[in-house]
């Protein structure tokens, strides 16, 4: 099995590398190099214990009985290389993944980043190619990050696929005033076939994004603008500030014009609404004297479904599945799958959320171990996902992770209807 | 004779003036300024190796490139190990940020956090000049050393109070005890291996720290390859942080 082979190779390589460590005052890394080559290897295993009464599980049975549980394997190789000469830099990160989800196997090969940068002075940089873009200050959500890819807040160091763009970055620094720094980032994001930003519009569209950054009164402030032929005009604002030596606060505010929203009633009738939703997020990070970090965030999603709308959607879906099981006619359940696709494609389709993550380095003299627990709650219906986890770094460049996701909530609630009753996950990562 | 006497007195004054000035004891503020200049003499770049030694004797090493401009601008770039390479931190006065390449955006961090674990926190690794963050509350002299009591200038500083032992001859710190506002000892820094770094200045190449809060742990910071160098102000900005590894 390829994944087991990968794990074995990882472990052997790491043990060999770890055994060579010595106490040494020399710093050979001080010799500058024009190139960098490295890679990240990852092996990941997930076990799905299904909630057979959940909405998504019942709907997916149309494609065949998934059973009570499933095993899922991922093997990932991400080579990285860069070369710089004078004011020019070229970089490439590719992603190669093997997946075995218990039903079938597949591979995926993507260019995550591949770009050329021209930096004639620290005040000016020109980028061309595919680069990762991540804007906003939130940990769990970034409502003002209009061009961001979605990411897992509890595995934040995963590489993300970039955006194909042409970008300019201008920076100015000021002495003595309240305004210390000013930065302007301008991006053009073209849509070309299915390889360049296909999620952002139709072939030939060009989307534009601007971010104005200020360091003003020791506060980070961003003003963000995004627009395109197939995208709603979007305006965003975010901030971040240290209140004390161990407390940071942050927030985001986003407004989008004329966003299409699909609402389903209990009878399956679809209603299209156009709205100008406002999203916002407030958060803080606090480090206490016991070296425990707390991250707390509140997120309001203006275009999200409220409790009544979610109950209607689940009621329609349940009725469709019940009728299919009673009559054998698949027409209605197929329609239910189609209607609810946009709902299930969103990580958090609801309206109000809370997020709390508590992590502590090396508690109880457990060396190299960081346990954590994260809680994400839908505040409208009281359902939540609780996720304890553990990171162990026994050797340099080797990271072992474990976490268990447990969605909790009654029927017709967001987390109560998640397909997994419990999902343990373990992954090992090695860098070289 | 009346004309000769004043001239003689002036000559005497001129002859003895430097001696008088030299003999005049340095104030606490002057000592602290000299300490700052010896530790980090102006705009510079150097490499630092941080070694975290755990209670079981296991060591973890991090190598970072350290850039400093003026008294309050610091950038560090992690060079190794591979899992940390490309991470960068920025400090502008009391503001600190961390950039992790995979995360893709800089995030604000606080001085009491530690980006490398171990006993050193961010304020130790990205330390500004002591005189920027601390005022001299008192100074004494004993056994060839100055002892300075330093008080934080604001609440944003990592330690409320420092007690600093300074080598009376070379004006470099020998030991610094760091206290919380409650009076609790948070950690002790030990400076050693003082090396001439040119320009008549000497700087400790090794800083060790231990803490009653981290029993059995020790962290060591080794400085090397120090070069005086001028950087553009824009190098010390949030937008430039993801590109700082390209700076040569």
Distance separating alpha carbons of residues B182 and B125, to the nearest angstrom: 23
Tally of CB atoms within 10 A around A103 = 11
Distance separating alpha carbons of residues B59 and B48, to the nearest angstrom: 16
Minimum-distance CB partner of A248 among B63, B103, B108:
B108
Least confident among A112-126, A153-167, A335-349: A335-349
Chain B residues touching A20 at Cβ < 8 A:
none
CB pair distance less than 8 Å for B63 and A240: no
Minimum-distance CB partner of A157 among B102, B117, B224:
B102
**Does pTM top 0.90 for this prediction?**
no
Look up residue B27 and give its two tokens. Answer: 């104030």
Q: Does B102 touch chain A (CB under 8 A)?
A: yes
Q: Catalogue the E-assigned strands of chain B.
A: 44-53, 59-69, 73-80, 88-92, 95-99, 107-109, 134-142, 145-152, 161-167, 173-179, 185-198, 201-210, 218-228
Average pLDDT, chain B: 85
State the DSSP string of A329-345: --HHHHHHHHHHHHHHH
User: Would you kindly state where each structural domain of chain B is located, as residue ranges?
Assistant: 27-246
Predicted ipTM of the assembly: 0.85
Q: Does B235 touch chain A (CB under 8 A)?
A: yes
Q: Which residues 6+ apart lie within 8 Å of A8 measured at CB?
A: none
Distance separating alpha carbons of residues B209 and B206, to the nearest angstrom: 10
**Local confidence band at A90 (pLDDT 50, 70, 90 cut-offs):** very high
Q: Does A176 touch chain B (CB under 8 A)?
A: no
pLDDT given for residue A19 in this prediction: 38
Distance separating alpha carbons of residues A91 and A36, to the nearest angstrom: 9
Select the residue from B234, B242, B244 to test the A interface by mutation, using most A Cβ atoms within 10 A: B234
Distance separating alpha carbons of residues A176 and A333, to the nearest angstrom: 66
Select the residue from B55, B102, B215 to test the A interface by mutation, using most A Cβ atoms within 10 A: B102
**Local confidence band at A428 (pLDDT 50, 70, 90 cut-offs):** very high
Distance separating alpha carbons of residues A285 and A250, to the nearest angstrom: 9
**Local confidence band at A363 (pLDDT 50, 70, 90 cut-offs):** confident
How far does the CA of residue A133 sit from the closest CA of chain B (Å)? 7
pLDDT given for residue A129 in this prediction: 98
Tally of CB atoms within 10 A around B2 = 5
Least confident among B60-64, B112-116, B213-217: B112-116
Q: List the 18-57 stretch of A: residues with Cβ below 8 A of B.
A: 21, 23-25, 27, 29-30, 32, 36, 38
CB pair distance less than 8 Å for A248 and B109: yes
Select the residue from A245, A246, A286 to test the B interface by mutation, using most B Cβ atoms within 10 A: A245
Name which residue leads in pLDDT, B8 or B33. B33
Look up residue B45 and give its two tokens. Answer: 């770049």
* Statement: residue B9 has pLDDT above 80: no
State the DSSP string of A287-327: E-TTSEEEEEEEEE-TTSB-HHHHHHHHHHHHHHHHHHHHH
CB pair distance less than 8 Å for A213 and B238: yes
pLDDT given for residue A37 in this prediction: 95
The per-residue pLDDT for range B127-169, each reduced to its tens digit, is 888 999 999 999 999 888 999 999 999 887 889 999 999 999 8
CB pair distance less than 8 Å for B92 and A181: yes
Query: Mean pLDDT throughout A113-142?
Result: 95
pLDDT given for residue B115 in this prediction: 80
Q: Which helix (H) or strand (E) holds A129?
A: strand A124-131
State which of A55-64, A170-179, A372-381, B223-232 shows the largest mean pLDDT. A372-381
Q: List the 400-429 stretch of A: residues with Cβ below 8 A of B.
A: 429
CB pair distance less than 8 Å for A30 and B224: yes
Secondary structure of residue B216 in the 3-state scheme: coil
State the DSSP string of A191-251: -BTTTB-GGGSSTT-EEEEEEEEEEETTEEEEEEEEEETTEEEEEEEEEEEEEETTEEEEE
CB pair distance less than 8 Å for A134 and B108: no
Distance separating alpha carbons of residues A365 and B138, to the nearest angstrom: 38
Bridge pairing between strands B95-99 and B88-92: antiparallel
Q: Which helix (H) or strand (E) holds A391?
A: strand A384-392
Distance separating alpha carbons of residues A363 and A359, to the nearest angstrom: 10
* Statement: residue B2 has pLDDT above 50: no
* Statement: residue A99 has pLDDT above 80: yes
Query: Mean pLDDT throughout B41-49?
Result: 89
CB pair distance less than 8 Å for B158 and A169: no
Q: Which residues pair with A247 in a beta bridge?
A: A244, A286
pLDDT given for residue A29 in this prediction: 79
Q: A–B: how many Cβ contacts below 8 A?
A: 156
Bridge pairing between strands A398-408 and A88-100: unpaired
Minimum-distance CB partner of B59 among A21, A123, A431:
A21
State which of A65-74, A145-154, A225-234, A410-419 shows the largest mean pLDDT. A225-234
pLDDT given for residue A25 in this prediction: 58
A365: closest chain B residue by CA: B55
Distance separating alpha carbons of residues A215 and B73, to the nearest angstrom: 14
Distance separating alpha carbons of residues A273 and A141, to the nearest angstrom: 24
Q: Which helix (H) or strand (E) holds A95?
A: strand A88-100
CB pair distance less than 8 Å for B81 and A431: yes
pLDDT given for residue B56 in this prediction: 84
CB pair distance less than 8 Å for A245 and B95: no
The dihedral formed by the CA atoms of B107, B111, B117 and B119, expressed in degrees to the nearest 10: 170
How far does the CA of residue B219 sit from the closest CA of chain A (Å)? 12
Distance separating alpha carbons of residues A298 and B186, to the nearest angstrom: 33
**Local confidence band at A321 (pLDDT 50, 70, 90 cut-offs):** confident
Note whether A356 and A374 are within 8 A (CB). Answer: yes
**Local confidence band at B213 (pLDDT 50, 70, 90 cut-offs):** confident
* Separation of first and last alpha carbons in chain A: 23
CB pair distance less than 8 Å for B234 and A245: no
**Local confidence band at A250 (pLDDT 50, 70, 90 cut-offs):** very high
* Statement: residue B22 has pLDDT above 60: no
Q: List the 206-225 stretch of B: residues with Cβ below 8 A of A.
A: 206, 222, 224-225
| Percentage, residues of chain B above pLDDT 70 | 88
Q: Which helix (H) or strand (E) holds A79?
A: strand A69-85
Note whether A135 and A239 are within 8 A (CB). Answer: no
Chain B residues touching A23 at Cβ < 8 A:
51, 59
Query: Mean pLDDT throughout A161-175?
Result: 96
The per-residue pLDDT for range A1-30, each reduced to its tens digit, is 444 444 444 444 444 443 333 445 578 877
Minimum-distance CB partner of A245 among B108, B157, B238:
B157
Query: Mean pLDDT throughout A318-345?
Result: 82
Q: Which residues pair with A385 in a beta bridge?
A: A376, A407
**Local confidence band at A97 (pLDDT 50, 70, 90 cut-offs):** very high
How far does the CA of residue B131 sit from the closest CA of chain A (Å)? 18
How far does the CA of residue B21 sit from the closest CA of chain A (Å)? 34
Minimum-distance CB partner of A218 among B94, B243, B247:
B94
Chain B residues touching A89 at Cβ < 8 A:
246
CATH code for the domain defined by B27-246: 2.50.20.10
Q: List the 327-386 stretch of A: residues with Cβ below 8 A of B.
A: 361-362, 365, 367-368
pLDDT given for residue A398 in this prediction: 95
* Statement: residue A59 has pLDDT above 90: no
Minimum-distance CB partner of A157 among B100, B239, B243:
B100
Place of tokens 């490139």: B65
Look up residue A259 and give its two tokens. Answer: 């966003």
Distance separating alpha carbons of residues A3 and A12, to the nearest angstrom: 14
Q: Which residues pair with A172 in a beta bridge?
A: A182
* Statement: residue B6 has pLDDT above 60: no
Q: List the 33-52 stretch of B: residues with Cβ below 8 A of A.
A: 47, 49, 51
Question: B152: closest CA among B170, B136, B128, B165?
Answer: B136
How far does the CA of residue B141 sit from the closest CA of chain A (Å)? 32
* Statement: residue B45 has pLDDT above 50: yes
pLDDT given for residue A290 in this prediction: 84
Q: What Å distances lie between residue A15 and A20, A22, A45, A128, CA to CA?
A: 9, 14, 21, 40
Chain A residues touching B236 at Cβ < 8 A:
173
Minimum-distance CB partner of B110 among A25, A242, A361:
A242
């Amino acid at each position: 099995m390829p994944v087991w082979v990968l794990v074995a190779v990882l472990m052997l390589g790491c043990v060999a590398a770890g055994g060579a460590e010595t106490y040494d005052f020399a710093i050979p890394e001080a010799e500058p190099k024009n190139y960098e080559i490295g890679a990240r290897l990852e092996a990941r295993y997930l076990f799905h214990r299904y909630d057979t009464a959940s909405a998504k599980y019942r709907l997916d049975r149309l494609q065949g009985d998934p059973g009570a549980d499933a095993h899922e394997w991922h093997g990932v190789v991400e080579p990285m290389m860069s070369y710089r000469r004078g004011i020019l830099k070229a970089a490439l990160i590719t992603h190669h993944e093997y997946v075995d989800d218990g039903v079938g196997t597949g591979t995926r090969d993507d260019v995550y980043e591949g770009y050329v940068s021209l930096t004639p002075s620290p005040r000016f940089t020109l980028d061309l190619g595919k680069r990762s873009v991540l804007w906003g200050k939130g940990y769990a959500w970034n409502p003002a990050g209009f061009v961001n890819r979605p990411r897992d807040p509890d595995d934040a160091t995963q590489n993300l696929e970039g955006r194909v763009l042409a970008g300019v970055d201008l920076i100015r620094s000021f002495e003595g005033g309240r305004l210390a720094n000013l930065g302007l980032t301008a991006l053009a994001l073209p849509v070309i076939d299915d390889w360049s930003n296909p999620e952002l519009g139709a072939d030939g569209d060009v989307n534009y994004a601007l971010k104005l950054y200020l360091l003003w009164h020791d506060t980070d402030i961003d003003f963000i603008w995004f627009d395109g032929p197939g995208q709603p005009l979007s305006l965003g604002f975010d901030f971040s500030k240290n209140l004390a030596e161990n407390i940071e606060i942050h927030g985001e505010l986003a407004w989008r014009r004329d966003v299409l929203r699909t609402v389903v009633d209990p009878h399956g009738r679809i209603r299209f609404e156009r709205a100008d939703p406002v999203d916002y997020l407030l958060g803080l990070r606090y480090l206490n004297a016991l070296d425990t970090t707390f991250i707390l965030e509140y997120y309001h999603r203006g275009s999200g479904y409220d409790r009544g709308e979610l109950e209607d959607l689940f009621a329609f879906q349940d009725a469709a599945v019940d009728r299919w099981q009673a009559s054998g006619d698949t027409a209605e359940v197929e329609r239910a799958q189609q209607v609810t696709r946009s709902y299930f494609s969103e990580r958090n389709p609801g309206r109000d959320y809370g997020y709390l993550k508590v992590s502590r380095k090396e508690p109880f003299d457990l060396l190299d171990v960081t346990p954590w627990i994260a809680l994400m709650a839908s505040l409208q219906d009281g359902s939540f996902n609780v996720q304890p986890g553990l990171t162990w770094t026994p050797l340099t460049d080797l990271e072992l992770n474990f976490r268990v996701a447990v969605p909790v909530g009654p029927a017709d609630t967001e987390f109560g209807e998640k397909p997994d009753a419990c999902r343990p996950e373990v992954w090992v990562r090695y860098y070289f | 004779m009346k004309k000769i006497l004043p001239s003689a007195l002036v000559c005497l004054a001129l002859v003895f003036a430097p001696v008088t000035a030299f003999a005049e004891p340095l104030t606490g503020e002057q000592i602290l300024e000299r300490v700052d200049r010896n530790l980090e003499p102006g705009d510079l770049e150097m490499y630092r190796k941080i070694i975290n030694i755990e209670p079981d004797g296991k060591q973890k090493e991090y190598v970072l490139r350290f850039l400093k401009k003026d008294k309050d601008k610091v950038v560090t770039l992690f060079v190794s190990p591979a899992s940390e390479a490309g991470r960068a931190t920025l400090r502008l006065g009391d503001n600190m940020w961390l950039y992790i390449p995979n995360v893709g955006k800089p995030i604000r961090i606080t001085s009491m956090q530690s980006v490398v674990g171990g006993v050193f926190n961010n304020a130790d690794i990205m330390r500004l000049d002591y005189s920027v963050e601390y005022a001299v509350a008192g100074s004494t002299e004993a056994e060839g050393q100055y002892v300075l009591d330093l008080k934080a200038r604001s609440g944003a500083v990592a330690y409320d109070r420092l007690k600093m032992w300074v080598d009376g001859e070379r004006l470099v710190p020998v030991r610094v005890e760091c206290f919380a506002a409650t009076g609790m000892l948070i950690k002790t820094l030990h400076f050693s291996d003082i090396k001439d770094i040119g320009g008549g200045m000497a700087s400790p190449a090794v800083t060790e720290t231990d803490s009653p809060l981290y029993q059995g742990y020790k962290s060591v910071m080794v400085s090397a390859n120090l070069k005086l160098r001028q950087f553009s102000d824009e190098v010390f900005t949030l937008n430039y942080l993801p590109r700082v590894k390209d700076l040569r």
